[in-house]
Amino acid sequence: MALLERVTTLLRANLNDLIDRAQDPEKMLKQLILDMENQLLQVKTQVAIAMADQHVLEKKREAHQQQAQDWNKKAALAVSRDRDDMARQALSRSLTETRSLNAFTQQLDDQRAQTETLRASYLKLQQKLAETRNRCEVLRAMSRRAHVVGRAQRATTPLSSGALERYGEHVQQQAAANHARTVLDSPDLSETFAEMEREEQVNLLLDQLKSQLALNA
């Protein structure tokens, strides 16, 4: 069945490989989810149809089985009444019903196998869909975290650059930005800022000392 082939293709999809190859993993997973939801609906419909067909075959098989038994009883009754001609006719009808019974039994076995295959595919596709949805949610969470971190870095970069500019107006803007990012990425950020504050205090004390000496001169 073409439907089962499409479902098999979706089930064999390696999410890790697809994510690695995709330019936009989240968009790719969203499309994959839509495809799975569409196929899941089709498989669910086919399962319902297969179960209905199986029920019909079961009823027909039971009917032919009952008919064969009834004709056998009639043949036995005819024999008890010494009506071999009627017994032969009854046995002939019973044989026809038995052949139909065997045919419907085979069809029923095939139908049960098909129903079970469809049902198993439906359950597997449900699990794959849940897995894909979870992976998509993980990617969204990662994307949100990356966005927040990037926004925080952009927000703190001007402050760090401003602090660096107090050491001299001759420092170029790009160099200040690069230095600020290096500071922010440092494993011991608090110690770095403490050192910067000490240097600033030393410079301030030096300026005060020079001013005092100039006044005393």
Question: Residues of the chain with pLDDT > 90: what percent?
Answer: 31
Calpha distance 39→5 (Å, rounded): 11
Which residues does the chain have with pLDDT short of 70?
A: 1, 143, 146-194, 202, 205-206, 209-210, 213, 217
Is 0.75 surpassed by the pTM of this model?
Answer: no
**Exposed/middle/buried for residue 36 (C-beta within 10 Å: 0-12, 13-18, 19+):** buried
pLDDT at 154: 53
Calpha distance 122→114 (Å, rounded): 12
User: Would you kindly state where each structural domain of the chain is located, as residue ranges?
Assistant: 2-185, 190-217
